[in-house]
């Protein structure tokens, strides 16, 4: 018989945000936000420009004070974490370097301040792929090199939790591919990764979980697979009735839409072959956007979800009549979309959707994955 199992700290590697709110004057940048980030996974924090992502990350990292609510890492506020660089590493702005200082010196300053062995500096420069740039002035770095230097700084203290603001910004396609593999490796070591982006396409292939915010409010949270929903194809044909029954006869789910058929499959070739075999002409055949793409497109395409500080006739910037309600999102084709609810002081009104994603903005966030205990 073994000895007693060592107690597992349930907060280890976890980020927890509850009711987080930040007002700048009368402008509400972050509005009763709840989110959970768990170890061993990459969580994408997505939202259009001005949605409140950086403001949220700054509150998590103790750089600005919340107006209300809490943001904790491993159960503590940033300022209460002893030697925080060894618990949480972050890179908020790729331009935040002394331009005259070399990359190596920049990291040495950070290492010395946190009591981290200087040997880590060259190891990290090597790890992020810029050892040759170590002695060059950071002011002369390309955006991609700055991103890598920021990443090296975030990893100096060998942290369990890593928070990166728009880490793919300025990277070329090779750089993005490299970043993807690098972040995946960090997650496979059991680390917790929270990365923000305003571009779904940039992170969709990289992340496991997604939290989407707009106008400071959470719009959706779940795994990428949950939020993508089932893949669907759209087909227009000379004989929709006959094609519908042919496809349904093969066990596919078929619905009429926009003069064509919507089929639950990602196998376009099969749809084409079945139509051909039944001698039915196809006029159009394409994959449809996933639910996640549709949702994100709506958020980035409509004025009401875009940066309220960009200014309009109503004066929705700081001091203006803001706190506009998030409008109705498009029908979510039966899949989970959280609709912002009025703040619930008890945080008790949320309920878990059919597939485990949460419904209700003030609900403690639970995902299908967490419910399954994995």
CA distances for 222 relative to 34, 43, 67, 352, 365, angstroms = 13, 9, 26, 11, 9
Please choose, out of 90-98, 105-113, 153-161, 306-314, the segment that lies near ligand ATP by the rule CB under 6 A.
306-314
CA distances for 194 relative to 144, 161, 209, angstroms = 19, 8, 9
> Which of 13, 19, 52, 66 is the binder for ligand ATP (CB under 6 A)?
52
> Which of 9, 11, 49, 321 is the binder for ligand ATP (CB under 6 A)?
49
**Number of residues located near ligand ATP, criterion CB under 6 A:** 16
Please choose, out of 44-52, 128-136, 219-227, 332-340, the segment that lies near ligand ATP by the rule CB under 6 A.
44-52
Give the pair of three-digit tokens for residue 2.
Answer: 């073994």
> Which of 18, 41, 53, 160 is the binder for ligand ATP (CB under 6 A)?
53
Question: Whole-angstrom Cα distance, residue 128 to residue 140?
Answer: 17
- Which one, 107 or 322, has the nearer CB to ligand ATP? 322
Question: Whole-angstrom Cα distance, residue 363 to residue 325?
Answer: 18
Question: Whole-angstrom Cα distance, residue 78 to residue 66?
Answer: 12
- Which one, 65 or 256, has the nearer CB to ligand ATP? 65
Please choose, out of 22-30, 65-73, 109-117, 172-180, the segment that lies near ligand ATP by the rule CB under 6 A.
22-30
Please choose, out of 50-58, 139-147, 184-192, 323-331, the segment that lies near ligand ATP by the rule CB under 6 A.
50-58
> Which of 72, 105, 307, 349 is the binder for ligand ATP (CB under 6 A)?
307
118 C-beta neighbours (distance < 10 Å), count: 12
- Which one, 319 or 334, has the nearer CB to ligand ATP? 319
CB under 8 A, 24+ apart: contacts of 203-207: 203/44, 203/46, 203/168, 204/44, 204/292, 205/180, 206/42, 206/44, 206/168, 206/179, 206/180, 207/42, 207/43, 207/44
Please choose, out of 23-31, 92-100, 233-241, 292-300, the segment that lies near ligand ATP by the rule CB under 6 A.
23-31
Question: Whole-angstrom Cα distance, residue 38 to residue 373?
Answer: 12
- Which one, 65 or 283, has the nearer CB to ligand ATP? 65
Shortest reach from residue 167's CB to ligand ATP, in Å: 13
- Which one, 58 or 148, has the nearer CB to ligand ATP? 58
Residue 220 near residue 295 (C-beta atoms within 8 A): yes
> Which of 72, 302, 309, 341 is the binder for ligand ATP (CB under 6 A)?
309
> Which of 43, 54, 237, 357 is the binder for ligand ATP (CB under 6 A)?
54
Using rule CB under 6 A, residue 29 touches ligand ATP? yes
Shortest reach from residue 316's CB to ligand ATP, in Å: 9
Using rule CB under 6 A, residue 96 touches ligand ATP? no
Using rule CB under 6 A, residue 47 touches ligand ATP? yes
Shortest reach from residue 181's CB to ligand ATP, in Å: 24
Using rule CB under 6 A, residue 217 touches ligand ATP? no
Question: Whole-angstrom Cα distance, residue 54 to residue 93?
Answer: 9
Element (H, E) at 188: helix 173-188
3-class state of residue 133 by DSSP: helix
Residue 122's φ and ψ, nearest 5 degrees, are: -70, -35
Element (H, E) at 146: helix 143-155
List interacting residues with ligand ATP (CB under 6 A). 24, 27, 29, 47, 49-55, 198, 307-309, 318
């Amino acid at each position: 018989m073994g000895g007693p199992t060592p107690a597992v700290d349930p907060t280890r590697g976890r980020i927890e945000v509850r009711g987080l709110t930040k007002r700048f004057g009368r402008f509400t940048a972050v509005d009763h936000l709840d989110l959970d980030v768990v170890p061993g996974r990459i969580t994408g924090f997505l939202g259009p420009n001005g949605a409140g992502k950086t403001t949220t990350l700054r509150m998590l990292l103790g750089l600005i004070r919340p107006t209300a609510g809490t943001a904790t890492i491993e159960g503590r506020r940033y300022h209460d974490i002893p030697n925080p660089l060894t618990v949480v590493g972050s890179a908020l702005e790729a331009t935040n370097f002394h331009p005259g200082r070399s990359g190596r010196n920049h990291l040495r300053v950070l290492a010395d301040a946190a009591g981290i062995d200087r040997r880590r500096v060259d190891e990290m420069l090597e790890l992020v792929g810029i050892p040759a740039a170590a002695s060059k002035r950071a002011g002369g770095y390309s955006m991609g090199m700055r991103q890598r230097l920021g990443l090296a700084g975030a990893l100096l203290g060998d942290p369990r939790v890593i928070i990166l603001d728009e880490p793919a910004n300025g990277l070329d396609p090779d750089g993005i591919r490299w970043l993807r593999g690098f972040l995946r490796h960090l997650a496979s070591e059991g680390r917790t990764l929270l990365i923000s982006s305003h571009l779904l396409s940039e992170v969709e292939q990289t992340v496991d979980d997604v939290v989407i915010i707009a106008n400071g409010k959470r719009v959706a949270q779940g795994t990428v697979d949950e939020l993508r929903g089932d893949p669907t194809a759209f087909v227009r044909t000379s004989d929709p009735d006959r094609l519908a029954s042919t496809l349904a006869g093969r066990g596919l789910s078929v619905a009429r839409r926009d003069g064509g058929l919507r089929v639950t499959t990602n196998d376009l070739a099969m749809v084409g072959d079945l139509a051909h075999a039944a001698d039915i002409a196809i006029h159009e055949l394409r994959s449809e956007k996933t639910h996640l793409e549709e949702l994100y497109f709506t958020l980035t395409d409509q004025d009401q979800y875009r940066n309220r500080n960009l200014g309009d006739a109503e004066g929705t910037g700081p001091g203006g009549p803001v706190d506009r309600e998030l409008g109705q999102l498009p029908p979510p084709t039966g899949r989970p979309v959280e609709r912002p609810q009025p703040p619930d002081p008890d945080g008790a009104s949320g309920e878990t959707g059919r597939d485990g994603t949460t419904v209700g903005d003030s609900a403690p966030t639970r995902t299908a994955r967490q419910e399954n205990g994995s």
